Amino acid sequence: MIRAFVDASVLFAAAYSPVGASREIIRRAIRGEFRLVASDLVFEEARRNLCAKAPRALLSLESLLEMVGFEIERPTKAEVLAAMAYVAAKDAPIVAAAKKAQVDYLLSLDRRHLVEAEEVARRSGLRIVLPADCLAELHDRSEEGA
């Protein structure tokens, strides 16, 4: 089973819009096709950002969180400090948690700091992709196996 760590941007998008790759990742997790991992910090950040930018979507977020049954990963202070050597301080807890969880993917919509940051992927050992790219990759794999 695919295990993916989702950051707050993915949860925000999934709660805000009933369509799109972020919501599809959540749907597939509800159906048991994905095992999703996050951290308490991810949930707090998603709630905080929705409260500030789209408060009507907070109820949707809470419903999605309840339906998915996320695995929760809690990195240690030392793990976060180690990640800060190659990623922005604000993203270090996310990268550290995903690395600790040993997931197949770290899903994010943050292209600048995570998805397109080659050094972060290289030094963390994580496959950091957009939700849409993850879905496309999985589709391609299933086509090859068919």
Percent of the chain residues topping a pLDDT of 90:
92
Residue 117 near residue 89, CB atoms below 8 Å: no
pTM for this predicted structure: 0.95
Residue-wise pLDDT for 84-94, tens only, equals 999 999 999 99
- How many whole angstroms separate alpha carbon 84 and alpha carbon 37? 21
Q: Decide: 2 and 104 in contact? Cβ < 8 Å.
A: yes
Confidence grade of residue 146 (pLDDT, cut at 50, 70, 90): low
CB-CB neighbours of 49 under 10 Å? 18
**Tens-digit pLDDT profile for residues 104-142:** 999 999 999 999 999 999 999 999 999 999 999 988 877
Report the run of H or E that residue 5 belongs to, with start and end: strand 2-6
The domain tally of the chain equals 1
Q: What is the CATH number of the domain that holds 93?
A: 3.40.50.1010
- Residue 77: phi and psi, rounded to 5, are -60, -40
pLDDT surpassing 80 at residue 145: no
Domain that residue 55 falls in:
2-145
